[in-house]
Amino acid sequence: MSLITELDYGTPIRVSEQTVTLTIDGLTVSVPAGTSVMAAASRLGTQIPKLCATDSLEPFGSCRLCLVEIDGRRGTPASCTTPAENGMVVHTQNDRLARLRRGVMELYISDHPLDCLTCAANGDCELQDMAGAVGLREVRYGYGGKNHIHDAKDESNPYFTYDASKCIVCNRCVRACEEVQGTFALTIAGRGFESRVAPGNTDFFGSECVSCGACVQACPTATLTEKTVIEHGQPEHSVVTTCAYCGVGCSFKAEMQGNRVVRMTPYKHGGANAGHSCVKGRFAYGYATHKDRITKPMVRAKITDPWREVSWQEALAHAAAEFHRLQAAFGVDSIGGITSSRCTNEEAYLVQKLVRAGFGNNNVDTCARVCHSPTGYGLKVTFGTSAGTQDFASVDKADVILVIGANPTDAHPVFASRMKRRLRAGAKLIVVDPRHIDLVRSPHIQAQHHLPLRPGTNVAVLNAMAHVIVTEGLVAEQYVRERCDLADFESWARFVADPRHAPEAVEAQTGVAAAEIRGAARLYATGGNAAIYYGLGVTEHSQGSTTVMAMANLAMATGNIGREGVGINPLRGQNNVQGSCDMGSFPHELPGYRHVSDDATREMFDAVWGSKLRPEPGLRINNMLDEAVEGRFRGIYIQGEDIAQSDPNTHHVIAALEAMECVVVQDLFLNETAKYAHVFLPGSSFLEKDGTFTNAERRINLVRKVMPPMAGMADWETTVALSNALGYRMNYTHPSEIMDEIAALTPTFAGVSFKRLAEVGSVQWPCNDEAPLGTPTMHVDRFVRGSGKFMITEYIATEERTGPRFPLLLTTGRILSQYNVGAQTLRTENIRWHQQDVLEIHPFDAESRGIVEGDLVMLASRSGEIALAAHLTERVQPGVVYTTFHHAKSGTNVITTEFSDWATNCPEYKVTAVQVRPTNRLADWQEMFAENEVALKRIAPLATAAE
């Protein structure tokens, strides 16, 4: 067996309060009722030979290798499908069983290429292992009869190969696709000897397959194998670490040959993913060693100068001298910093420490400003904690799932698979989204209610749901009386009961049929455990914080907070957006969300940091940019964030960056922001450093270094060196020391240490003496703030209005294969799934504009205009258009506006009034698609015609 294969019990371990006791090969064992004989034997250390069984899938019973004898029963039942029973006496080894198993194996091997020594799976093949385990020494049948030895390979998927000649038709891949991933892309086509695995009537690349890799993981042979393993061979050691893409925070084993990653295998004991993955984490890690990586520090006097490679020492000294010069000339507040939600907790902590203690101001912000800052605000006000309330496993206990402003199958795929499993098991689904997202209808899932609201009307819809709950007597009165502030509740109840909030009254405004809102509200309030999951479609609005509070109101009013299966759950975008916020990245909050004006907290930090912290909040990102345009803000240290591409109103961002005298960018690549930088400090990928990420469920996971930093320094080391160059001493030798400092200063992290994390795998904060193993569910007996606080959530329509010039509403989102601004995923084979951003437009809107599928169109708002290819689809409703923002060339944020959430300034990315029209400005398209061969080919005939 491979050194890195984890123990496999053969069938899933059941959870039951009842146990049964049986005897296996003379040994007695007790297991939870429902456990298979195979898993019970595993508990005793007896591995019964198997091929079609694995403990991540329901037993199937097709290979007949796991036969056993049971006293009092006829025949030789399959141990994987036979439940253990009280008093059972089982025999797993005797001559008869050995003969039968050898016979089964002989048949398999007789239709299998005997190329073990050159096979990519050699040493990691269960067929090979089982042949050895059953003692098969010779095969009596040759290849003379019918066989599959010459079946063709399917190499269409960029990451794995399907070699049909090696398939034993064990069905594990089909079941993995159904049970684990929930995509149902594979079937067994044909019958008997003809049966083969098939991804529909096409190849893998052209099929429904989303390249999650679950089938590859499940395959016991070399049939489904990673191309990297075929190319490089089997890994020789592995290191458990954490995915650096989305806020699900999946754990992986980085399987290595020396310093080379051979494959990323989802870690079975990962707290967030339990052995599952998506295409990004599992396969799209190649960006980390991409040739575009910048590995030498660079400096230039003016942004029009060419870059000059310099030593680390020179780059850091230059940045420090410039920051000193600017503060001397323009004041202590003339510079600031931005922490990264892509970097570790320890790195975010150091950047905010450098700004507060080294720069001497509170001008620090983070990219959460532009995504989930309303979550922090809204949940802090209502519940007392700026974070989601549940762990992911909680969804297994939900009876009603309300998904609002999120597209989990694309943006949080591993959690989506878990959610879909629960939905297939019978939970009810409400989707509130302007688009017909996949979840609304997918294999074996159909939303009970889809509320396709007009972008920008979340609050009106949630208030209408609250109206139904209050006026129809669906409030959980006892819960509210015991857990919430009653006076606040009563004024809220009067507010939402007002007829102007009735579903019928807001129907025209929201575009949602009143009956749908009423049905959804009744289901949410009365359907059992009801859980809300939401994303940026909630927060990136002018009323983002109001929407978060409106959801909190609904949950409190129906008693859906404080136990498993319920809650308010933000699906965080970036891998460490929760962590960067926890680490004090906002200008008004020190680590642990403590306000900078709190004297006692500041004194505590001053004592440890040797600082004199300022009590007034510093500048937010947008304030820094505004001040820069005004000439008062002159320098910035940006770690791992591309504000020129990801922040709204690009023209304004660029004007601000151009106005600054010292822009220091620390990143893996020369990103859009680096075009305006004076100092470039090479960053390090997640593979090159130790640290922690905190995912959407507050789970703190270890990130472990698997290779040395390509530029010689990990990001935390760079911040330490910059701080020391500035004259503010930092003396850390390892990120664990940084976490020790965080734990000493932050009560919710008091019990967190690298040692603890290594011992228990991961913990969810709060983790302290009261909760040494962390807190999966928040607000169990009481809200963190004491009584839950209902907030009045008046709906105020965004100032961004449609009109004759801009009659359509643009909303934005992500797709599965890509991640944010594409800096990572577009540097991998994932680009094959998304060669350009497209504009989704309803056929009615397209027809009235003379637009047909694939046309290049101008998309214009009052901020600017861009060119995109049109895709006609009924996924969007008439009047709404949609695009992604993964390609820098698309420049989506050129057209987003300066409107933002009233409380947090989170930009209103999700609502922009636009016009769409066909364009004949060929030059725009050619510039736009200059690096896109496919699009250029399509443009070529037009170019010829224009000449």
Q: Does 430 bind ligand SF4 (CB under 6 A)?
A: no
Whether the Cβ atoms of residue 636 and residue 609 lie closer than 8 Å to each other: no
Helix (H) or strand (E) holding 105: helix 95-110
Residues 298 and 677: beta-carbon distance below 8 Å: no
250 belongs to the binding site for ligand SF4 (CB under 6 A): yes
Pick what 871 binds: ligand FES, ligand SF4, none; C-beta below 5 to 8 Å, kind-dependent: none
Which residues are within 8 A (CB) of 325 and not within 5 positions of it... i.e. 6 or more apart?
none
Among ligand FES, ligand SF4, none, the one that 183 touches (CB under a kind-dependent 5 to 8 A) is ligand SF4
- Tell me whether residue 78 or residue 168 sits nearer to ligand SF4 (CB atom): 168
Nearest to ligand SF4 of 542, 574 (CB atom): 574
46-85 residues in contact with ligand FES (CB under 6 A) are 50-53, 61-66, 78, 80
**Helix, coil or strand: residue 91:** strand
In the complex, the smallest distance separating the C-beta of residue 12 from ligand SF4, rounded to whole angstroms, is 17
Q: Which two tokens stand for residue 447?
A: 């939303």
Per partner kind, with CB cut-offs from 5 to 8 A, the member of ligand FES, ligand SF4, none near residue 278 is ligand SF4
38/379 with CB nearer ligand FES: 38
Sheet holding 335-339, edge to edge: 308-309, 298-299, 679-682, 662-667, 635-639, 335-339, 364-366
Q: Which does 338 bind (CB under 5 to 8 A by kind): ligand SF4, ligand FES, none?
A: none
Nearest to 723 by CA among 389, 337, 425: 337
Rounded to an integer, what distance in angstroms lies between the CA atom of residue 693 and that of residue 243?
9
Count of CA atoms in the C-beta half-sphere (13 A) of 743? 21
Under the criterion CB under 6 A, does residue 278 sit at the interface with ligand SF4? yes
How many residues are listed for the chain in this entry?
A: 947
User: Considering beta carbons, is residue 248 or 470 the nearer one to ligand SF4?
Assistant: 248
Give the contacts of 940 (CB within 8 A, at least 6 positions apart).
none
- SS3 for 147-185, per residue? CCCCCCEECCCCCEEEEHHHCCCCCHHHHHHHHHHCCCC
Give 687 or 722: the residue with its C-beta nearer to ligand SF4: 687
Neighbours of 47 (CB within 10 A): 17
Which lies closer to ligand SF4 via its Cβ, residue 273 or residue 373? 273
Residue 172 touches which of ligand FES, ligand SF4, none (Cβ within 5-8 Å per kind): ligand SF4
Options 44-52, 107-115, 684-692, 699-707: segment touching ligand FES (CB under 6 A): 44-52
Closer Cβ to ligand FES, 82 or 225, answer by number: 82
Task: Name the residue nearer to ligand FES (CB basis): 64 or 675.
Answer: 64
DSSP3 helix / strand / coil % (the chain, rounded to 5):
35, 20, 45
Instruction: Give SS3 for 631.
Output: coil
Determine which residue in the list 102, 112, 148, 280 makes contact with ligand SF4, applying CB under 6 A. Answer: 280
In this structure, are residues 715 and 666 in contact, taking their beta carbons and an 8 Å threshold? Answer: yes
Q: Which is nearer to ligand FES, 63 or 816 (by Cβ)?
A: 63
Binding partner of residue 64 among ligand SF4, ligand FES, none, CB cut-off 5 to 8 Å per kind: ligand FES
Q: Does 413 bind ligand SF4 (CB under 6 A)?
A: yes
Instruction: Restricting to residues 122-181, name those near ligand SF4 by CB under 6 A.
Output: 167-173, 176-177, 181
- In whole angstroms, give the CA distance from residue 736 to residue 715: 14
CB 608, CB 741: distance < 8 Å: yes
Count of residues in contact with ligand FES, rule CB under 6 A: 12
Do the Cβ atoms of 356 and 723 come closer than 8 Å?
no
Contacts of 790 (CB under 8 A, 6+ apart): 382, 484, 485, 488, 489, 491, 492, 493, 553, 556, 557
Query: With contact defined as beta carbons under 8 Å apart, do 633 and 335 qualify?
Result: yes
Which tokens is 582 given? 């926890």
With vertex at residue 280, the alpha carbon angle to CA 712 and CA 187, rounded to the nearest 5 degrees, is 150
Q: Which tokens go with 893?
A: 């944020």
The least CB distance from residue 538 to ligand SF4, in Å, is 19
| 79 part of the interface to ligand SF4, by CB under 6 A | no
By beta-carbon proximity to ligand FES, the closer residue of 34 and 843 is 34
Decide which of ligand SF4, ligand FES, none touches 814; Cβ closer than 5 to 8 Å per partner kind. Answer: none
Whose CA is closest to 716, among 285, 248, 353?
A: 353
Nearer to ligand SF4, 821 or 935 (CB): 821
Rule CB under 6 A: say whether 414 interacts with ligand SF4. Answer: yes
Cα–Cα dist 635/724, whole Å: 18
When CB distances are held under 5 to 8 angstroms depending on the partner's kind, the choice from ligand SF4, ligand FES, none that residue 42 binds is none
Q: Which is nearer to ligand SF4, 327 or 817 (CB)?
A: 817
- Point out which span in 324-332, 408-416, 707-715, 878-886 binds ligand SF4 (CB under 6 A): 408-416
183 binds ligand SF4 (CB under 6 A): yes
Show contacts with ligand SF4 in window 189-248 (CB under 6 A). Answer: 197, 209-215, 218-221, 223-224, 243, 245-246, 248
Per partner kind, with CB cut-offs from 5 to 8 A, the member of ligand FES, ligand SF4, none near residue 65 is ligand FES
Residues whose CB falls within 8 Å of the CB of residue 906, separated by 6 or more in sequence, listed in order: 369, 370, 371, 372, 373, 374, 539, 540, 541, 544, 545, 900
Cβ(214)–Cβ(276) under 8 Å? yes
The closest residue (CB) to ligand SF4 is 281
Name every residue whose Cβ is closer than 8 Å to that of residue 252 and which is 6 or more positions away in sequence: 240, 241, 242, 243, 264, 265, 266, 267, 270, 277, 281, 282
Candidate residues 11, 128, 277, 900; the one interacting with ligand SF4 per rule CB under 6 A: 277
CB nearer to ligand FES: give 168 or 502: 168
Kindly state the DSSP code that residue 460 receives in the 8-state scheme: H
Work out which of 63, 134, 185, 730 binds ligand SF4, going by CB under 6 A: 185
**Which residue's CB is nearer to ligand SF4, number 163 or number 488?**
163
Binding site partner of 53, from ligand SF4, ligand FES, none, Cβ cut-off 5-8 A by kind: ligand FES
Report in angstroms how near the CB of residue 209 gets to ligand SF4 at its nearest. 3
Best CA proximity match to 279, nearest among 344, 221, 213: 213
For residue 570, the partner it binds in ligand SF4, ligand FES, none, with Cβ less than 5 to 8 A by kind, is none
Binding span for ligand SF4 by CB under 6 A among 139-147, 411-419, 514-522, 549-557: 411-419
Instruction: Pick what 219 binds: ligand FES, ligand SF4, none; C-beta below 5 to 8 Å, kind-dependent.
Output: ligand SF4
Minimum CB separation of residue 119 from ligand FES in Å reads 22
210 binds, among ligand SF4, ligand FES, none (CB under 5 to 8 A by kind): ligand SF4
883 binds, among ligand SF4, ligand FES, none (CB under 5 to 8 A by kind): none
**Amino acid identity for residue 712 in this structure:** G
Binding partner of 212, given ligand FES, ligand SF4, none, CB within 5-8 angstroms per partner class:
ligand SF4
Under rule CB under 6 A, how many of the chain's residues touch ligand SF4? Answer: 41
Distances (CA, A) of 287 to 291, 399, 419, 709, 933: 8, 40, 29, 14, 21
Nearer CB in complex with ligand FES: 168/763:
168
* Cβ closest to ligand SF4, residue 254 vs residue 857: 254
* Neighbouring C-alpha atoms within 13 Å toward the C-beta of 430: 28
Find the angle CA(917)-CA(919)-CA(920) to the nearest 5 degrees.
160
Query: Interface with ligand SF4 by CB under 6 A: which residues?
Result: 167-173, 176-177, 181, 183, 185-186, 197, 209-215, 218-221, 223-224, 243, 245-246, 248-250, 273, 277-278, 280-281, 412-414
Query: Interface with ligand FES by CB under 6 A: which residues?
Result: 50-53, 61-66, 78, 80
